[in-house]
């Protein structure tokens, strides 16, 4: 099958959960939706052996990753603490991402116009194909999110949604995990 190069495959994907931390989620209006979609993606990633990396921005002040997401992380998921806004600034992050051997990077988390945007642009510059999940990212202000997504698209980053990611990973209703994963979306 001749597949379009921008369609995701589970075998070539890695996912990064950016700063979905308790003190940040407390000031976001979309927290429940973001955590719900992130949870679906994490469960699908775990079932399809998609590696996941997690970052936490200054966890001493902003808290740790939301518990609801921690419980859904695949085993041995690395969590990187950072003070820089781009995930690439976190000690060991870029090396860990390179070590996955994956070239399609799915980003979700907070905030779209700061940490997600800077990470996406740097990863794109490093040669990765970057996909930002629009319904699993947020900013304190909706306009900031919308302009960040527009800017990212202008820079060659693919703006997608959680269901598109999952169905691209599955590719076919005959996939052995299709029924289990599609049940998550109901």
Q: Is the separation of the CB atoms in 104 and 128 below 8 Å?
A: yes
Measured over the CA atoms of residue 91, residue 41, residue 126 and residue 1, the dihedral's sign is positive
Q: Is 135 a catalytic residue?
A: no
Euclidean distance between the first and the last CA atom of the chain, given in angstroms as a whole number = 30
Structure tokens at 102: 């994956």
Q: Each residue of 89-117: b (16+ CB within 10 Å) or e?
A: bbeebbeebeebebebbbbbbbbbbbbbb
- Catalytic residue chosen out of the listed positions 87, 115, 138, 145: 115
H-only helix segments in 7-141 = 22-25, 31-47, 59-62, 67-70, 93-99, 117-125
Query: Pick the catalytic residue: 35, 72, 82, 138?
Result: 82
Q: Which of 19, 35, 88, 138 is an active site residue?
A: 19
**Residue 82 annotated among the catalytic residues of the structure:** yes
Residue 130 in contact with residue 138, Cβ under 8 Å?
A: no
What is the Cβ-side half-sphere exposure of residue 167, based on CA atoms within 13 angstroms? 8
- Known catalytic residues are 19, 82, 115
């Amino acid at each position: 099958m001749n597949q379009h190069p921008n369609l995701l495959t589970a075998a070539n994907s890695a996912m990064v959960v950016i700063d979905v931390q308790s003190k940040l989620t407390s000031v976001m209006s979309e927290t429940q939706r973001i955590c719900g979609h992130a949870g679906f993606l994490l469960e699908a990633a775990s079932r399809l052996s998609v590696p996941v990396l997690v970052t936490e921005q200054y966890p001493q002040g902003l808290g740790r990753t939301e518990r609801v997401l921690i419980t859904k992380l695949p085993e041995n998921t690395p969590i990187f603490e950072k003070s820089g806004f781009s995930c690439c600034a976190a000690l060991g992050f870029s090396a860990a991402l390179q070590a996955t051997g994956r070239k399609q990077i799915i980003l979700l988390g907070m905030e779209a116009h700061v940490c997600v945007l800077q990470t996406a642009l740097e990863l794109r510059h490093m040669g990765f194909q970057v996909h930002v999940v629009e319904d699993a990212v947020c900013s304190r202000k909706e306009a900031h999110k919308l302009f960040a997504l527009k800017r990212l698209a202008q820079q060659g980053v693919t703006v997608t949604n959680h269901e598109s990611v999952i169905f691209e990973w599955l590719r076919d209703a005959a996939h052995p995990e299709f029924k289990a994963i599609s049940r998550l979306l109901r």
